[in-house]
């Protein structure tokens, strides 16, 4: 009989993965048929080969208790990582909901990545269809922002723009100059001012602000300075200008596109100086420095 043969390594690993990742717990997973209406039902269904009989009985601790140790370690490690990486969602929804949210997330998007900080990359998509977002409709955007912060934190590093190289650019070359934006910079556009939540992380009044959060178009700049991630709201013109620079438009084209957008001409020079100083602009390509 097939069932008396030792399980293959694949059967054993698939079974063990199933039993320790079932959010209902090891004992329930082993004894109760899952509710057929559960989302991601496929992940609750036991693999064909039951391998419980191949775990050694080592009294006094039961096999279930032994499996529980692995189940707990699996979930605790991921919950701790999510709590650190999605700190604002954690504070907004509270500990119990966050724990359930993490369990649900792992069913929808189990980790396939080596760095545990990457596991939450689908947070926005996950929250978009989730019941938690019905009462807190800004939650998916908050998930996107917190993932953006992680990406900015880990972005590649490039050297600062050397001030002398700007002085050496002849006036005639500026028209065709193109700008390289720091790889850590992300332009965050949304329907909710979630940047306010991010910046109020240590504020005890945070929850009151959350209750008052209202939908409005928001433009934010996510950047990294001296290893620290900053999220700041920027006005629409600045945001548009940065997005044109990121897309590789030259200064001449950028000015053309900006003309007529505002009553007063935007203080471009001042903004450029600020962005060069804080490392948002990392390089300026001109005919001279390309040759």
Q: Which residue is it, tokens 């039951």?
A: 50
Spatial contact of 82 and 119, defined as CB atoms under 8 Å apart: yes
User: Coil, helix or strand for 285?
Assistant: strand
Q: Of 32, 157, 162, 288, which one interacts with another protein (CB under 8 A)?
A: 157
Residue 113 contacts another protein per CB under 8 A: yes
Residue range at the interface with another protein (CB under 8 A); choices 32-40, 146-154, 235-243, 268-276: 146-154
Of 154 and 277, nearer to another protein (C-beta) is 154
d(CA 201, CA 204): 8
Q: How many residues make contact with another protein (CB under 8 A)?
A: 55
Residue 55 contacts another protein per CB under 8 A: yes
Q: Of 25, 34, 50, 118, which one interacts with another protein (CB under 8 A)?
A: 118
d(CA 40, CA 32): 16
Spatial contact of 29 and 46, defined as CB atoms under 8 Å apart: yes
Q: x/- site string to another protein, residues 212 to 241, per CB under 8 A?
A: ------------x--xx-------------
Q: Which residues of 86-116 are buried (b: 16+ CB within 10 A; e: fewer)?
A: bebbbbbbeeeebbebbbbbbbebeeeeeee
Residue 7 contacts another protein per CB under 8 A: yes
Binding site for another protein (CB under 8 A): 6-10, 12-14, 16-17, 20-21, 53-56, 58-63, 65-70, 73-74, 77-78, 110-119, 121, 150-151, 153-157, 183-184, 224, 227-228
């Amino acid at each position: 009989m097939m069932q008396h043969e030792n399980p293959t390594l694949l059967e054993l690993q698939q079974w063990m993965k199933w039993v320790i990742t079932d959010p209902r717990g090891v004992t329930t997973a082993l004894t109760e048929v899952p509710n057929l209406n559960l989302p991601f039902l496929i992940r609750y269904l036991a693999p064909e080969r039951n391998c419980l009989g191949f775990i050694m009985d080592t009294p006094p601790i039961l096999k279930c208790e032994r499996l529980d140790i692995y189940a707990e370690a699996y979930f605790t490690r991921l919950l701790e990582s999510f709590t650190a990486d999605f700190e604002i969602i954690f504070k907004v929804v509270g500990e119990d909901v966050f724990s359930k949210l993490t369990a649900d997330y792992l069913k929808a998007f189990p980790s396939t990545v080596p760095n545990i900080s990457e596991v939450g990359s689908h947070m926005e998509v996950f929250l978009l269809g989730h019941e938690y977002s019905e009462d807190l409709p800004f939650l998916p955007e908050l998930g996107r922002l917190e993932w953006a912060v992680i990406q900015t934190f880990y972005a590649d590093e490039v050297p600062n723009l050397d001030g002398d190289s700007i002085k050496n650019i002849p006036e005639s070359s500026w028209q065709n100059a193109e700008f390289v934006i720091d790889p850590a910079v992300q332009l965050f556009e949304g329907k909710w001012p979630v940047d306010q939540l991010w910046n109020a992380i240590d504020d005890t009044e945070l929850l009151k602000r959350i209750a008052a959060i209202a939908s409005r178009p928001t433009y934010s700049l996510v950047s990294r300075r001296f290893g620290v991630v900053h999220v700041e709201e920027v006005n629409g013109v600045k945001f548009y200008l940065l997005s044109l620079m990121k897309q590789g438009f030259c200064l001449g084209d950028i000015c053309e596109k900006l003309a007529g957008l505002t009553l007063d001409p935007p203080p471009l020079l001042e903004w450029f100086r600020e962005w060069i100083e804080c490392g948002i602009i990392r390089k300026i390509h001109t005919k001279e420095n390309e040759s």
